[in-house]
Each structure stands twice: as C-alpha cells, then as structure tokens.
Amino acid sequence: MTEYLDVLNKEQLDAVTHEGKSLLILAGAGTGKTRVITTKIAWLIQQKHVDPYSILAVTFTKKAANEMKERAIALEEKAAWSKIRTFHSWGANFLRLYADEAGVSKNFTVYDEDDMATIVSKAIPSLPKKEISQIVKKISLAKDYGLTPTSKNLELVGGDGVFAEQYALYQERLRSTGNVDFGDLILLPYLTLKNNEAIRRDMHFRYRVIMVDEYQDSNIAQSLLLQELSGVNENSGTYVCVVGDDDQSIYRFRGAEVRNILEFKNQFAGTDLIRLVQNYRSTQEILYCADCVVSNNAGRLGKTLVAARGKGKKPTLVFLPTQDDEVQFCADIIEQQHKKGVPYSEWAILYRTNAQSLGFETNFMRAKIPYAIVGTLKFYEREEIKDAIAWISFVANPRDEVAFRRIVNKPVRGVGAASQDKIVEAGLGQNLVSAAKNIKLPKKASEGVAEFCKIFDELNSMLPEEEVVSEVGASLPQEEVTGSAPRAVDANKLSLADFIKEVCEKTGLNEFHEAQDEIAGTQKLSNLEELTNSAVQYPLCRKGLLDFLDSINLDRSSLGEEEDGALQDRVTLITLHNTKGLEYKRVIITGMEYGVFPREGKVGDDLEEERRLFYVGITRAQNELYFTSCAMRRLYGRTNYMQPSPFLYELEKGSYRVLGQQPFAFQGAAGSASDSSSAYSDPIAKKYRKGVMVYHDDWGHGQIVSGDFTADGEYVVTVNFETGGSKKFLPKYQSSSLLVEGT
DNA sequence: CAATTCGGGATCTGC
DNA sequence: TCCCGAATTG
C-alpha cells in the first residue's frame, strides 16, 4: 500500500511524512520536489485519511499544475478531488464565487497589459502616450506587492502622490468594467478574505492542507493571500507546506520576492525546514558547472547539489563567428545525432529573449528539423485573435469598455472615437449595448451602432445560461486545472466552437481579415479557424465561454501545445524563463554573450538574477550541455561585435571542453588555437594545421596528425580520434562538421 | 473616416 | 531592422 514511499530518500521521506506544523522544503533543481508533493498528497489521503477535497496545491504554470495533478492521481485516485491549480486560476475561481464581495462582475474576463493601457488612457486622458506603459507597469507591480491606491508604501514601487492618484483613477475605471487585471486575481481574493471573516472561516474550514510549489517566485500579494487563506494567525490548524529554491528565483522583475522564502519561518510560526540536495536529473559534471556559477551570488541560503547519476560528460563551450553559425551549429549537431538515433525531442535550445528564436525557426524549417516553440506564442496577441476574443469577452460581459472600443467599429461601421466616447461615458459601469441603443448620435454613427447592437443581440441569444446537460456517469470529477470541464467531443452537440464560428462570420471579422490576407499575404483567416477549433471541447453556454476565456488568459502557451505535442519528436525552442521546472536530455544554451545574457546594464541584484537564470538553464540538462557564444550578432538591425558572457568566465577552466575559435580573453596558457606565426598562407590549412585538436560530429574528439596538399591542391588532414580510429578529411568541405577545439 | 507616408523608438524575461 | 504611431492627405 505504501510501496511508493520506498523510492524516496531519507529527506524526501521526512518531507512527505512531516505533519502538524508548517513546513519549508528547500529543494534544489532536480531533487524530486514534484515527487515529494505528489507523494505527500497521496500519503495524506491514504494514511492520514485527509479528505482529498480539503487539499489545495498551487503552482505557477498550468503545465506544472497538470503534471502535478496527473502524478498525484497516478499514486492515489482520490487526489482527483483535490484542488491542484495555478495561483491565478485559483484566484479567478475564487472571484467568480465571491464576485459580489470582491466588487467584480461574475462574468469578468482578465485584462492583459494592453487592455490595462487602454483603461489608463481613458481614465487619465491628460496623460502623455509615452507614460502610459510605465504607469501600467507600476500599477501591476503595486498589485504584486499587495498595495492599493491608498496604501502608505507605494514608494516601494517607486510611486509618489501623483501615482497614487493615477492608480486610483485606473482602479475606478477598471471596476466600472466589472473586469479584472492579472494582479487582481491575487490581490482581490486577499482583500476579500482579509475583510470578510465569514468567507475566511469558510476557506479555513475548506482547505486543511495547502501546498505551494516554486515558492521562490511568489510575490508579496501571494504571500499575504496564503496567510489569510490558511489562517495561520487564527489558529485555523491548516497545514501549510511550501517548496522552493532561492537559487532559482527568476521573476523579481514582476514582483517575486525571495524574502518570502527567507521569512517564511517568521510568518508561519513553528516552521520546520527540510533540505533536498540529492539531484536525480543531471550528471556531476553539469552540476559542477552550475555550482561554479551560482556560488558567485551573495545572499543565498547556500547548498551544493549532489549528483545521484555519476560523472557524465563535460559541458561544451562553442565559439562561433556569427549568429547564423550558431544556428547552423545547433542544426548540424542535432541532425548528426538524429542520424545516429537520437530523437529530436531530446534536445532543447534555450535563449534569453524570444526574439532569438527566429533564426532557429527559419533554419529548422528549411532543414526540415521538427521543432516546437514553447511559451509566448504571440498567438493571442495577433490582431484578428484579439478581435475575436474581444467579441467573445464582450458577450460575456457587456460592461467591458476595452473590448467594446475594439470591436464596435471593426469592420468600419462609422462609429468613430467621438461616438465611442459618448457611448462609454453615458454607460460607464453599465451594459454598453443598452447605453448605445439609447443614445443620440449622428446619422451615420447611429446606423452603425444599430448594426452592431443587432449582431450583439443575435450572438447573445445563442448562448444559454447553463449547458443543456446530458448526464455523465463519472464518479470522479473531471475538473481541469484552468477551470472546468472540457468534455469529450460529441459530434451531435453544438460546442463553443460553433459560437465562435458564428462570431467570426456574423461580425464580419472573417470577411475583414480575408481581405487583409489578400493584401498583405497574411494568414489571419486560418488563425481565426485555429482559435475556433481550440474551443471545440467547451460546452456552448456562458460557463463554457468563461472557462474558455480563462484558459486563454491564464495560460498564454496553451495553444500550439496540443495534447499529443509532448509525444511528438521535436526539438524544443524555449526561453530560459520558460524552462522552469522542465528537463531535457541535451540542452544548448545560446547567445552566451555580454549584452544578450546577461542583458546589458544589469548590475547588482539584477545581475544576480541573471546568474540564477543561467543556473536554471544549466540545471535543466540531464546528459549533455552546450553553450554557444558568437563573436558577432545583429542587434537592433546593426551588426555588433560581441564579448563572451561574463558568466562563462565563472566556469572553472577544465570543467568544460571548448570548440571553435576562442576569443582573446579565453586564450590562456592552456589555449591552443592561437599560432599566428604559421607559415601557411591558405587560411584553411592554417586553421587545420598539424597538432590541432578537433571535434567531429560523427567521430568525436581527436587530433590532426598530418596535413598535406594533394596534387590537385586540395588540403587533406589525417585525424586520430580519442576512440582509436583514424580518418582522412578534406577540411574545405567539412567546415561545419569538423570543428577546431580549444582547451 | 481611411489610406499613405514618415520618423522615432525599441526589444527583455511573463502569470 | 522593423514596427507602430502620428501627421498628412484624399
């Protein structure tokens, strides 16, 4: 019955069976923290007879939540009744439940930063355009810190009296729409709990065990929410267990507060601490590099990971001339290994900024290397998608000013900015369709508005309040992480996709974007189709619509990550940030240049955060790890000479192999590729001269033992490989597969 | 109100 | 380099 405990090490077992007090688990990368949490859930249910319904586990990404839920259920079926969700999706759920108390519409949707900017510009018309995005950022940060417009500590986010006023105006306007922004998903539940004892008691009664994953990336508001939710100061008896790693804190810029970990024991009295340092993911050589890097950070709790898997291969540092060579190197090595049977899916290419993915995409496309981009797919930021979503959101909540402005005159119906303002001012905080119907406007505009309202009414009447239920006889809840119940597809039944299809047709979006496609050669129409298809599992009703919107708004990467996506054989292209919690057999960290990674101008705490990000990247690798660094890179449309990333200097010499031409800074006493007094005039012969260490994609590491010109003037080298073999090459044709190796 | 053109600014990272 | 917004023009 408890054989799943046998696979745990001592510390893991202690963590799983710990009870009665709050617990902080300091879990290094790859130390099996997901296993600990999921096992703990199973153990509590099975051995301690804790009601699964009273267990709450929160994570930061939907992917992590899904995985956790799956694994917990695999250990104990009843874990299906537990709430395992992302922080934000839990918050959204809470707010729908207590919408009145929180002061929002039951049918709210979530505004992103663009939408926030629209609200700001309408709430403070005098504000110069340029300052809007700064204010938006500041407001977001304030909410992450748990601050309201009347808080005394607004200077924490660099806010003064003027900002307090701006924040207040924004809040007022936002509340009039009934919608929420991202920060509200945490802040409003916190405030609601704090100010409402009855709800608070309900929650304390409801949740007996609360677990939080990746606690190092929680912000102040989340910490405050956790305190209220658990009732730690009210003797609720709720058990709180958080798991985190201060070395992997990478979201300071959006309000994450490492001090939440450091101060956990003060906020939650009587906390016990358990450390997990046994690493089951990476080989020792990889962990050694990771440790070299992160030990340069001050202000860490400090721990050194111990590999359970043995020594392994040294990481490889590759110097390349340009970013095109970088892309080519990655393509080559992946293709070479693929020919030897290594699946594409074992590889991940990591980069600092999303913009860097472009080169890989185009090259891989041409080379027919299958790839999948994880994360900011930008899909939902596309114009046509935002249009369609605005329509859907507006049907859900007709107080949504931002959506209204977006769609009322698209395609053009003669309702310009002036008319829009009139309608919104008249109907602020009310149903904008009613307001629009009752207002007097110029002839052209009023005809347009009438048309718009007609479309709205037609669409609105398509949506029943509740799904017409045909009973499903499942004993366990089918709840999904983001919300509820995407059902099995029933061909005979209308789904939300049918609604969205109607939206695209009735509103003229299809027509409008079809025309755009012809002019600009874009694919907007098929994007709309893709959006439609993604709604097929949602039931045709208001609840289904809200769930669908939540799934979009609370997880930008959900589309394009089809169910079977993980099973397909593809190289992963991913930002370093997005790799949190993931692992790959072979990892290439690209763009290891000063200015790219770390980004230019990062100093002090910010530089330390970049370093932790590097640490996160390194510790994703199970077996093989590569760093690539270019001498030249196109940035801002200009070609720049680059210096190697300072982080590379933090790796101990000898703890990694070097390929390619080392920059001057890397040519120490042990350097080898710097014989400038060669007698050869042929640059190829000069590069591949006798004695040079090389690396070949198929044959591995070796040394050139002879180099001669043939009768036809071709330069031939003989290479003896580490493995014992000897081969002849024509370097002229091997520039990408036969690389000069350094130290 | 829409189409065109011109100029400045920008690029982090993301729930 | 490219994209977006403002200004200009129809």
Is A214 labeled as catalytic in the residue annotation?
yes
Q: A366: exposed, middle or buried (C-beta count within 10 Å: 0-12, 13-18, 19+)?
A: exposed
pLDDT at A440: 79
Encoded amino acid at A199, one letter? I
Q: What is the pLDDT of residues A410-456, one digit of tens each?
A: 777 878 777 888 888 888 788 888 888 888 777 777 888 888 898 89
* Residue A674 predicted with pLDDT over 70: no
* Residue A128 predicted with pLDDT over 50: yes
Is A213 labeled as catalytic in the residue annotation?
yes
pLDDT at A71: 93
Q: What is the pLDDT of residues A514-533, one digit of tens each?
A: 776 666 666 778 888 888 88
On the question of a cis peptide bond just before residue A411, with omega within 30 degrees of 0, the verdict is yes
* Residue A193 predicted with pLDDT over 90: yes
- A649-674 in b/e form (b: 16+ CB < 10 A) is eebeeeebbbbbbbbeebeeeeeebe
Say how far A415 CA is from C7 C1', in Å. Answer: 22
Q: What is the pLDDT of residues A72-86, one digit of tens each?
A: 999 999 999 999 999
**If pLDDT is split at 50, 70 and 90, which confidence band does A480 have?**
very low
* Residue A562 predicted with pLDDT over 60: no
Q: Do the beta carbons of residue A229 and residue A203 sit within 8 Å?
A: yes
Q: Which residue has the higher pLDDT, A27 or A719?
A: A27
Say how far A357 CA is from B10 C1', in Å. Answer: 18
Say how far A131 CA is from C7 C1', in Å. Answer: 20
**If pLDDT is split at 50, 70 and 90, which confidence band does A302 have?**
confident
pLDDT at A379: 73
Instruction: Compute the distance between CA of residue A354 and CA of residue A573 in angstroms, rounded to an integer.
Output: 9
Most confident of A92-96, A551-555, A657-661, A717-721: A92-96
| Consecutive H or E run containing A50 | none
Cα-to-chain-centroid distance, residue A72: 23
* Residue A556 predicted with pLDDT over 70: no
Is A67 labeled as catalytic in the residue annotation?
no
Q: Do the beta carbons of residue A82 and residue A56 sit within 8 Å?
A: yes
Strand C–CB A637 distance below 7 A: yes
Encoded amino acid at A565, one letter? G
Average pLDDT rounded to a whole number, residues A271-289: 94
* Residue A258 predicted with pLDDT over 90: no
**If pLDDT is split at 50, 70 and 90, which confidence band does A682 have?**
low
pLDDT at A490: 56
Dihedral through CA A553, CA A557, CA A562, CA A565, nearest 10? -160
Is A122 labeled as catalytic in the residue annotation?
no
pLDDT at A53: 94
Cβ within 7 A of any strand B atom: A 60-61, 86-88, 112-113, 140, 182, 251, 253-254, 352-355, 375-376, 409, 412, 414-419, 444-445, 554-557, 575, 577-578, 599, 606, 635-637
pTM across the whole model: 0.82
* Residue A476 predicted with pLDDT over 80: no
Q: Which residue has the higher pLDDT, A678 or A396?
A: A396
Task: Spot the catalytic one: A11, A214, A285, A550.
Answer: A214
- What are the start-end ranges of the H helices in A538-601? 542-553
Say how far A664 CA is from B14 C1', in Å. Answer: 37
**If pLDDT is split at 50, 70 and 90, which confidence band does A232 have?**
confident
Say how far A592 CA is from B12 C1', in Å. Answer: 15
- By mean pLDDT, which of A140-144, A590-594, A701-705 is the weakest? A701-705
Share of chain A above pLDDT 70, in %: 88
| Consecutive H or E run containing A347 | strand A347-351
* Residue A468 predicted with pLDDT over 70: no
Q: For A741, which DSSP code?
A: B
Average pLDDT rounded to a whole number, residues A296-323: 89
pLDDT at A192: 97
Q: In the structure encoding, which two tokens stand for residue A149, read together?
A: 């417009």
Strand C–CB A443 distance below 7 A: no
Strand C–CB A340 distance below 7 A: no
On the question of a cis peptide bond just before residue A598, with omega within 30 degrees of 0, the verdict is yes
Instruction: Compute the distance between CA of residue A355 and CA of residue A351 in angstroms, rounded to an integer.
Output: 9
* Residue A354 predicted with pLDDT over 90: no
Q: Do the beta carbons of residue A14 and residue A47 sit within 8 Å?
A: no
Instruction: Compute the distance between CA of residue A339 and CA of residue A596 in angstroms, rounded to an integer.
Output: 32
Average pLDDT rounded to a whole number, residues A718-727: 70
Say how far A49 CA is from B12 C1', in Å. Answer: 47
**If pLDDT is split at 50, 70 and 90, which confidence band does A269 have?**
confident
- By mean pLDDT, which of A155-159, A586-590, A706-710 is the weakest? A706-710
pLDDT at A485: 45
Q: Chain-wide mean pLDDT for chain A?
A: 84
